[in-house]
Structure 1
């Protein structure tokens, strides 16, 4: 899994940074792309990225402020022209479906793929054999949600020495053992998965928050995550301004990361008052005094999601 930042600015785009959108590329896990928010210009950003709209499987909208959704109708309309013909699901707060269908109807946009829109107010949104996606309400001027993506633990690797002891050779039986099935050999010996599999490979956890000021739902969403993506609109000298406008400071993002015992904090959604990378460095320094493993999101930066072994989970 890899995170790719398509926009890291708050409110309005600047010459240096676009508004919010984050890609989660999962080529090894499911050969798919998930998108979190879709601010204006997102599809242009994708054209300059290694991401492929033909792989887009799901879009998760945190809230309906324009800097998080104004790029969505255009992206949905043009997706088919970039090879996207497979079904696509959009998750978002109440009002998401009305926004999308109104724009598509008035513009007479037509798509040739199945589009499913799921509105939610938090809770369990999606689960299959590999992933769980949960959501909870944050604290912003309008309803804004955070998302917790949990990769389920995977079976351990097959022990080739133990397989040889049973006389097993590569073939369909290997797959059955990996799927957790017990097999019976021609000589009557029974081989259980735990006899030939190593320890399970722990799945990774990613938490991506929408706009928010510090609130109680941040902790359960981020608890023991390998990566926490948290807004850091201002430095802490503007904490009163951040609170008034329902945003967070870099220090507050770091405090959330420390309290939740996450592996890494990635900060994004920076105020346009910070014009360039030099002006953003104080935010990073501020965060690192509280949570050393912090970084700033840079646009068109691909960040591998690293499993943090030191994180203890229930």
Structure 2
């Protein structure tokens, strides 16, 4: 699993930051990628990465403000032009279907693939054999949602050489052992699954929040998360302004991470008033409350280290 930030700015694009868009790369887990929000020019940002629009399986829209949705029509059209045929699921607040279909209709954009729309309601939004996605309503000036993505425990790993040494032949008996069943070897001796497998390991938990004031729902979504992506539009001196506009300060993002027990905090949706040289100040404020965290920039990429159970920032060159 990797997190790739395509846009990390607030409100409108700047020279340093594009508007909101974040890719959750699940290529190893399911051979696809998920996109969270799609601000203006998201497809231009994608051109500077290895992400293929036809690999986008799901799009999650946190809320209906323009800096989170204005890139959708162009991206959907390009996905079609580039040979995308697989169905696309779009999860979003009320109005997302109307917005997309009206825009495509008026621009006479024909898609080569079907779109399945899922209107957001609190609770479990999606679940299959490997992943669960939960959502809750946050506290913004319009309905805005956060998402908790949970990878289900990984299956036990079969120690095949150990099983073979105990007389289990290659074939279906090995599969039974891996699935937790005890078997008899060729001599009738019972071989226990627990003796030839490593126990299942927990998967990752990623929390991605839309725009929000400090609120209990954000804390609950981030509970015990391996990584929490939280907006930090303002620094700690602008608490009143943040509340007025439905946003959070760096201090509030860090406090949410601390109360949730999130292992790593990644702050994004940064106001254009902050330049790269302000990173040191913002990180200093964050570390007063939560010690492990990062400020995301456009094209920042973070990867999940499964064996170490932590998120690491990848060293990548900006385009």
State the TM-score, normalizing by the size of structure 1. 0.93
CA 1:229–1:83 in structure 2 vs 1: closer, same or farther (change >3 Å)?
same
Q: Is the 1:137–1:145 contact (alpha carbons within 8 Å) kept by the matching residues of 2?
A: yes
Long gaps (5+) in structure 1: none
CA 1:112–1:248 in structure 2 vs 1: closer, same or farther (change >3 Å)?
same
For residues 216-244 of structure 1, the C-alpha deviation after alignment (integer angstroms, 9 at most, x for no partner) is 10111000000000000000101110011
**Counterpart-to-counterpart distance in 2, 1:227 and 1:124:** 19
Query: CA RMSD for the aligned pairs?
Result: 1.8
Q: Is the 1:149–1:206 contact (alpha carbons within 8 Å) kept by the matching residues of 2?
A: yes
- Taking the TM superposition and a 5 Å limit, the aligned residue runs for 1:16-31 are 16-31=16-31
**Counterpart-to-counterpart distance in 2, 1:268 and 1:170:** 50
The residue number in structure 2 matching 1:288 is 287
SS class of match (1:86): coil
Long gaps (5+) in structure 2: 311-319
**Counterpart-to-counterpart distance in 2, 1:49 and 1:306:** 21
- Taking the TM superposition and a 5 Å limit, the aligned residue runs for 1:6-155 are 6-155=6-155
**Counterpart-to-counterpart distance in 1, 2:87 and 2:176:** 30
* Count of residues in correspondence between the two structures: 309
The residue number in structure 2 matching 1:221 is 221
For residues 188-220 of structure 1, the C-alpha deviation after alignment (integer angstroms, 9 at most, x for no partner) is 445453332112111000000000000110111
For residues 118-170 of structure 1, the C-alpha deviation after alignment (integer angstroms, 9 at most, x for no partner) is 10222111100000000000000000000000000012321245312332355
The residue number in structure 2 matching 1:301 is 300
**Counterpart-to-counterpart distance in 1, 2:176 and 2:211:** 45
**Counterpart-to-counterpart distance in 2, 1:254 and 1:193:** 44
**Counterpart-to-counterpart distance in 2, 1:57 and 1:169:** 39
Query: 1:280 Cα shift?
Result: 3.0
Query: 1:30 Cα shift?
Result: 0.6
CA 1:56–1:214 in structure 2 vs 1: closer, same or farther (change >3 Å)?
same
The residue number in structure 1 matching 2:200 is 200
**Counterpart-to-counterpart distance in 2, 1:171 and 1:284:** 54
Q: Is the 1:5–1:22 contact (alpha carbons within 8 Å) kept by the matching residues of 2?
A: yes
Query: 1:42 Cα shift?
Result: 0.4
Greater alpha carbon shift after TM alignment, 208-217 vs 152-161: 152-161
CA 1:64–1:31 in structure 2 vs 1: closer, same or farther (change >3 Å)?
same
Q: Is the 1:20–1:269 contact (alpha carbons within 8 Å) kept by the matching residues of 2?
A: yes
